[in-house]
Chain A
Amino acid sequence: MIHFQILTISGKKFDDDVYEVVLPTPDGQIGVLQDHMPLITVSTTGVISIRHEQHDPDNRMDHFATYGGVIEVSDNNLKVLVDEAEHSDEINEAEAKQAMELAQKMKSEAKDQTSLEHAQGLIDRSAIRLHVAGLKHRRQH
């Protein structure tokens, strides 16, 4: 087991011993299990997935949408420092869809590079939120 914490500036989002955590990094997804080598890396916009027990099927995993931060592994402690982390249950799908449409509209109307990048950032964000919200349906309680 590895101790896993998700820390955000508005509080602790997750704090428990888990079997496996899958994290988004610039080089692709990485899975962290017990006795992982010490590592410090950055996290990108994507999904953090948590497998609580070794034999848990995929539909029992917890998913968080996140938008970049720092990942630190040392001594069977895994810490993720991110701006925000939203659990799949917290995301309102209809609202996320609306945000996506708004972001796409912003992108099509963007006049300069800055607003284009801003809109693209919002689209990436909404895509991840929608994806995580979709994972909710596969979960069984």
Chain B
Amino acid sequence: MANTIALKHRIGSVKNTRQITKAMELVSASKMRRAQERAKLSRDYQVAAYDLLARLSTLKEVEIHPLFAKRKVKSRLYVVITSNSGLAGAYNYNVLKALTSSVRSDRDNGIASYVITVGSKGAQFARRLEHIQLTAVYPALGDTPSSADLWPILNTMIEEYKEKKIDQASLIYTVFVSNLKQQATVLDILPAKVAEETDKPTYKYSFTNFEPSVDVVLDSVAVRLLEIQVWQALLESLASEHSMRMAAMKNATDNANDLIDDLTLEFNTARQSAITQELAEITGGAEAIAK
């Protein structure tokens, strides 16, 4: 009898867990959709910013502008985008693995690594990581990030780049390829890149006026570009996080179902054998009395 009671308790607790994982799966599904929609909204801005840059790329001032000019890389800054909470499969692990391997290859090449983390999971990891300098730590921006949240990160990045404390800046985040595929990626964002050769427009630019000066305009365009890149990375990471959490929770729910099936079978067998044994005892007792 003790066995059946213990099994009953276990079935009950697995059912509770299943309820939670099921709820988390549904919440993640709707959050993922919202993150994807938000990412779509910034699409026009992104197209316009790249378009503008493609046109500016024909100017000779681009090559010597501080935010565009390439220099020998002696130190690199990584902006690592992770989440505050776990239970999202390999989401944080993949990003942090990419960070570790980048830092390792930097060390082999004699490049100093600086790290800015977004999300507490990244911060926890980076504090223990050797051979890096932690520049700043930000909490994850939540499900509804705003442009104001970006500025502290962008300003730090631009300032350190202009002061030549860093020679290159990269984002490490999760690309949302599809609902089933998310990939941790390293994207170089500083020095700002002009568009690929093939993207260059045929548009004549000679008579366009730049006010107050080409340099000021380039500065502003570079900042817009950084902003949209970081913004997109944040939203894609957010969508990936929720998508991976959804998958992880779906697996957990499926596992809970399997476990409940197994335990129910075990429970039924135990109950049946208890009944059989009781019957045998009763008939045995009755026969003894009849004698």
**Complex interface bits, B108-134 against A, C-beta within 8 A gives 1, otherwise 0:** 000000000000000000000000000
Cβ of A27 and Cβ of B52 under 8 Å apart? no
Q: Which single residue of chain A is at the shortest CB-CB distance from B204?
A: A38
Q: Which residues of A contact B210 (CB under 8 A)?
A: 39-41
Q: List residues 206-224 of chain B with CB under 8 A from any CB of chain A.
A: 207-212, 216-217, 220-221, 224
Q: Which of B138-187 contact A (CB under 8 A)?
A: 146-148
Task: Chain B residues near A3: list those with CB within 8 A.
Answer: none
Give the residues from 15 to 65 in chain A that come closer than 8 angstroms, CB to CB, to chain B.
Answer: 25-27, 37-42
The yes or no answer to B228 lying at the interface (CB within 8 A) is: yes
B147 A84 Cβ-Cβ under 8 A: yes
A73 CB to nearest chain B CB (Å): 9
Contact B45 A81 (CB under 8 A): yes
B contact residues, range: 20 to 34
Question: Which of A38, A70, A83 is B217 in contact with, Cβ under 8 Å?
Answer: A70
Residue of B nearest to A84 (CB): B147
- A-side contacts of B220, CB under 8 Å: 42, 68-70
Known contacts A42-B217, A70-B221, A81-B49: A9-B211 contact under CB 8 Å: no
Contact assessment for A9 and B228 in the assembled complex, using a CB-CB cutoff below 8 Å? yes
The bracket for how many chain A residues form the interface is 20 to 34
| B38 with A10: CB separation less than 8 A | yes
Q: Is the interface of B mostly helix, strand, loop or mixed?
A: helix
Given A40-B52, A70-B52, A70-B224, A8:B147 Cβ within 8 A: yes
Q: Does A79 contact B (CB under 8 A)?
A: yes
Whether A10 lies near B44 (C-beta < 8 A) is no
Using a CB–CB distance below 8 Å, which chain A residues touch chain B? 5, 7-12, 25-27, 37-42, 68-70, 72, 74, 79, 81, 83-84
What are 7 pairs between A and B in contact, CB < 8 Å? Answer: A5-B48, A10-B147, A11-B42, A39-B211, A40-B52, A42-B212, A70-B52
Given contacts A7-B48, A40-B208, 19 further A-B contacts (CB under 8 A): A7-B45, A9-B227, A11-B42, A11-B44, A26-B216, A27-B211, A37-B207, A38-B205, A38-B207, A38-B208, A39-B208, A40-B52, A41-B209, A70-B52, A70-B217, A72-B52, A74-B208, A81-B52, A83-B227
